[in-house]
Amino acid sequence: MAESVLMDRFARKVDYLRLSVTDRCDFRCVYCMAEDMTFLPRQQILSLEELYQVAESFVALGTRKIRLTGGEPLVRSGIVGLCERIAALPGLRELCLTTNGSQLGKLAAPLYQAGVRRLNISLDSLDPQRFRELTRTGDLQQVIAGIDAAIAAGFTHTKLNCVVMQGRNDHEINDLVAFAAERQLDISFIEEMPLGAISEHSRKEAFFSSEAVRQRIAERYTLLPSTESTQGPSRYWRVAEAPAIRIGFISPHSHNFCATCNRVRLTVEGRLLLCLGNEHSADLKAVLRANPGQPQVLREAIVQAMQLKPWSHDFRLDDEVQVVRFMNMTGG
């Protein structure tokens, strides 16, 4: 198997690609999107074939893990076929997908058959009304049915993602842990990041730190620090009362996880983003379209782009938008 050849200026090995397959979504989560969003016209986004070619080049360059995301990846038509092709790339160890769960009722089994092996599913509330308020359009029962369909389809190590907001869902933290424990799912609590200009709430006022989440959980559960790491931004804890599950904390504000960063992101416009919190990027769509049928040129552009990867992000805790991209454009 080829050794990874993707390395940045700081000798960090890059072997994880997050590939956004659409900017569209059936939800409008208040921390992710404005209520009124304009989405990209079709010509501007990568075709399924182009997405596949990018994945193929990254895997040829040593990428071992690909996560499909968006927007909501499961609203892109042809997604199951794309998964099947990417999962079959020799050298790829894991094809994962992050979803809001709304389409899993019908797609969990086909995705598993296509070779997707891990799912992250977003779940911010167990109260149907609050769930609707936070997602603006989502149906809680449909998402819970989706989570159960994923379990029934054979997915293991599924992780729930929950963005915690002060005064909105912070009082549900322990109920969400109980829900995860009941189904033996991991759960990560995320601090809201300043991506995209939103007006629905003040991010500063809604900030609820990972430390505060941990204290809240400690009121009901015995948390045991864990040394496990996935090289990613999550720091994990175990719970004595539910030993099968892990609790993760993604804390872009209170914990800088850049030193071990092994990932890059591709927007559905074909822009390779070298860092979640910075604008450094390379236009792979231009390379693809100017050099059809020449994977070598694309690979060279990817290798060159690694030189642009900055050392770190620096999110500040104020309401000024530091990065204009919305999370649905970034590929969370």
Helix axes 79-87, 48-60, angle to 10 degrees: 20
Answer left, alpha or beta for residue 288, where phi above 0 means left and psi between -120 and 50 means alpha: alpha
Residue 140: half-sphere exposure toward Cβ, Cα within 13 Å? 12
Task: Determine if 119 is a binding residue for ligand SF4 (CB under 6 A).
Answer: no
Please state whether beta strands 16-20 and 263-266 pair in parallel, antiparallel, or not at all (unpaired): parallel
Amino acid at 328: N
* Residues 1-40 as x/- pattern, contact with ligand SF4 by CB under 6 A: ------------------------x-xxx--xx-------
Q: Measured from the CB atom, is 8 or 233 closer to ligand SAM? A: 233
Q: Measured from the CB atom, is 72 or 186 closer to ligand SF4? A: 72
Q: How many helices (H) and strands (E) does the chain have?
A: 11, 12
Token pair 């769960």 in the structure block, residue: 101
Give contact residues for ligand SAM (rule: CB under 6 A): 25, 31-32, 69-70, 72, 98-100, 122, 161, 163, 190, 192-193, 195, 327-328, 332
Q: Measured from the CB atom, is 55 or 160 closer to ligand SAM? A: 160
Min separation Cβ 49 and ligand SF4, Å: 23
Min separation Cβ 70 and ligand SF4, Å: 6
* Residues 61-100 as x/- pattern, contact with ligand SF4 by CB under 6 A: ---------xxx---------------------------x
* 8 A C-beta contact, residue 308 and residue 282: yes
Q: What is the dihedral of CA 204, 205, 208, 209, to 10 degrees?
A: 40
Which of the choices ligand SF4, ligand SAM, none does residue 69 contact, using the CB cut-off of 5 to 8 A by kind?
Answer: ligand SAM
* 8 A C-beta contact, residue 130 and residue 168: yes
Min separation Cβ 323 and ligand SAM, Å: 10
* 8 A C-beta contact, residue 31 and residue 192: yes
Task: Determine if 328 is a binding residue for ligand SF4 (CB under 6 A).
Answer: yes
Min separation Cβ 124 and ligand SF4, Å: 9
332 CB-contact burial (10 Å; exposed 0-12 / middle 13-18 / buried 19+):
buried
Which of the choices ligand SAM, ligand SF4, none does residue 28 contact, using the CB cut-off of 5 to 8 A by kind?
Answer: ligand SF4
For residues 165-184, which are near ligand SF4 according to CB under 6 A? none
* 8 A C-beta contact, residue 243 and residue 197: no
Token pair 């770190």 in the structure block, residue: 312
CA–CA gap between residue 247 and residue 262 (Å, rounded):
21
Q: Measured from the CB atom, is 32 or 298 closer to ligand SAM? A: 32
Min separation Cβ 9 and ligand SF4, Å: 31
CA–CA gap between residue 87 and residue 117 (Å, rounded):
9
For 156, other C-beta atoms within 10 Å of its C-beta total: 11
Min separation Cβ 267 and ligand SF4, Å: 13
Q: Measured from the CB atom, is 22 or 298 closer to ligand SAM? A: 22
Q: Measured from the CB atom, is 63 or 98 closer to ligand SAM? A: 98
Q: Which residues bind ligand SF4 (CB under 6 A)?
A: 25, 27-29, 32-33, 70-72, 100, 122, 327-328
